[in-house]
Amino acid sequence: MDDINLQKAIEYYRNNQSHFIELLKALSAIPSISFPGYSAQEMERSAQFIKKEFEKLKLEHVDIITLPGAHPYICADICKHPNAPTILLYAHHDVQPPLRAEVWNSPAFSPEEREGRLYGRGTADDKAGIILHIASLASCIAASGCVPLNIKLLIEGEEETGSEHIDSFLQANPERIKADCVIIADSANFDTGIPSLTTSLRGLAVLEVTVSALESPLHSGLWGGPIPDPVIGLSKILSSLTNKNGDIAIPELTKLIPTLSKKDNDDIMSIPYTTDMFRQQARVKSGVNLHGKNQELLFKIWRQPSININGIESGGKKVGNVIMDKAWARVGLRLAPEMPANKCVNFLKKFLVAKCPHNLHLEIDNSPAVDGWQTDTTHPAFETARKCMQEAYEAEPVIIGSGGSIPLVLSLANMLEEVPILLTGIEDPYTNAHSENESLCLSDFHKAVESQIRFFYALASTS
């Protein structure tokens, strides 16, 4: 390993930490929300910001690429070492909507530092990942004038809305992603100060369910009694989805839950986790009973399916003494790795139809389902990454799963086959990603940058 330039790169970053945090603040101040109804111009502004920063580093082939109907991708590379490995670095520049402005302690798109954390939408998910890549590359270039291996960058613009066009993009740009190793900076650490590699993701299916009985609402005094209430009907359907223990009550679906390997089981059981830790991290109200305890909770969120009702509505808050004409709910189904998403969706639809009472009209719409993912960690890159994390964080790394989904991961795994995919990131249990008061632990961000710098030099030394 080139220890001299490695130390120069780390020293450069430590001397310029504030610059990169200010860069993160500036990028996070752009409301690049990819959801329908928000400004596409802000997505373009975000892409231009990133392109400019890539150009400052004198990266090559810096391009903004837009497919029909998709928000912009930003790609770049710097490949100066024919005999060295190539790393593909990924992050995404789109963010979630801010939700309730009155709940934020500071404006969502005015990043603010408080008590060692940077608050603001996108500060962690996932604009921190973009600046992580920029900072680690800039530090290597400052140390010796170049990066010690070959780098390709892919910054996506529609991850938060399901990466609808990611397969089309990858198929149209295969050379942009061809690599010997992939780092996806869009995951989390198990806790602050504890570096983590995520090796499994749950799948995701989203269904919109509408139950109706009438052409329009009716006076409940004049008509109530004979007419089955759509809201009650929907409530009965939804309540049948899980049993008293919170487990999914769809036999055909639960039969598809895979059995864990001994190694996967041992990895989870080795993590010192308690019910009290879960309650604190999830901010569960006092007295609420959980479905499980200690490490069992990790199995449930990483390796088992779950159903949640993301939203339910009938008339909103503008209601009177009426029988509502219809009721709507958004049902989210999380799937364990290796559970076939499309087959599980069909079982769920069949179950919903069977549980609909009184022959109420039932409509079910769903977006494309995403399969889960898990990876084999025997490739040497994983051990190299763990060693670099341990040196940067001065803490033993852990192997974890994630209850979330990243559509890109499965697409890359299918295209790149045996190439190792490392899921890293700077979120933690207190980040509040997708919710109000999203934040980034700044000390962990600095350690993540140093870890990635170390990984560049360590992987380059293997060539």
pLDDT digits (tens, 9 = 90+) for 60-109: 999 999 999 999 999 999 999 999 999 999 999 999 999 999 999 999 99
Asked if residue 416 belongs to a domain, the reply is: yes
Alpha-carbon distance of 445 to 128, in angstroms, equals 8
DSSP 8-state class, residue 194: B
Residues 167 and 211 occupy one common structural domain: no
Alpha-carbon distance of 198 to 186, in angstroms, equals 10
Residues 158 and 120 occupy one common structural domain: yes
pLDDT value for 368: 85
Give every CB contact of residue 51 below 8 A, 6+ residues apart in sequence. 62, 63, 64, 74
Question: Can the peptide bond before residue 180 be classed as cis, meaning omega within 30 degrees of 0?
Answer: no
Q: Determine contact, residues 460/82, Cβ cutoff 8 Å.
A: no
pLDDT tens for 131-185 read: 999 999 999 999 999 999 999 999 999 999 989 899 999 999 999 999 999 999 9
Residues 149 and 50 occupy one common structural domain: yes
SS3 content of the chain, % helix, strand, coil (to 5): 40, 20, 40
Domain that holds residue 345: 204-257+304-366
Residues 447 and 321 occupy one common structural domain: no
Residues 71 and 162 occupy one common structural domain: yes
Residue 257's CB is within 10 A of a number of other CB atoms, namely: 15
* Domain end marker among 335, 366, 397: 366
In a 13 Å sphere around the CA of 211, the CA atoms on its Cβ side amount to 27
Residues 329 and 401 occupy one common structural domain: no
pLDDT value for 225: 96
pLDDT value for 367: 84
Q: Which residues of 351-361 are buried (b: 16+ CB within 10 A; e: fewer)?
A: bbeebbeeebe
Asked if residue 281 belongs to a domain, the reply is: no
pLDDT value for 436: 96
CATH classification at residue 321: 3.30.70.360
Over range 17-37, report the average pLDDT.
97
pLDDT tens for 331-353 read: 999 999 999 999 999 999 999 99
Q: Determine contact, residues 121/438, Cβ cutoff 8 Å.
A: yes
Residue 287's CB is within 10 A of a number of other CB atoms, namely: 5
Residues 98 and 211 occupy one common structural domain: no
pLDDT tens for 248-304 read: 999 999 999 999 999 899 999 999 999 999 999 999 999 999 999 999 999 999 999
pLDDT tens for 357-393 read: 999 999 999 988 989 999 989 999 999 999 999 999 9
Question: Can the peptide bond before residue 126 be classed as cis, meaning omega within 30 degrees of 0?
Answer: yes
pLDDT beyond 90 at 315: no
pLDDT value for 415: 93
212 Cα distance to chain centroid: 34
* Domain end marker among 327, 347, 366: 366
Residues 172 and 77 occupy one common structural domain: yes
Q: Are strands 150-156 and 86-92 parallel, antiparallel or unpaired?
A: parallel
Residues 244 and 385 occupy one common structural domain: no
pLDDT beyond 70 at 463: no
Closest CA to 164 of 413, 407, 371, 342: 407
Residues 188 and 330 occupy one common structural domain: no
280 Cα distance to chain centroid: 21
Asked if residue 135 belongs to a domain, the reply is: yes
CATH classification at residue 68: 3.40.630.10
Alpha-carbon distance of 346 to 337, in angstroms, equals 17
Asked if residue 428 belongs to a domain, the reply is: yes
pLDDT tens for 407-421 read: 899 999 999 988 999
Residues 167 and 314 occupy one common structural domain: no
Alpha-carbon distance of 179 to 353, in angstroms, equals 46
**Band of the pLDDT at 2, cuts 50, 70, 90?**
confident
Alpha-carbon distance of 294 to 292, in angstroms, equals 7
Structural domains counted in the chain: 2
Q: Are strands 361-366 and 181-185 parallel, antiparallel or unpaired?
A: unpaired
Asked if residue 282 belongs to a domain, the reply is: no
**Band of the pLDDT at 204, cuts 50, 70, 90?**
very high
Residues 73 and 164 occupy one common structural domain: yes
pLDDT value for 138: 98
Instruction: Tell me the three-class secondary structure of 342-356, residue by residue.
Output: HHHHHHHHHHHHHHC
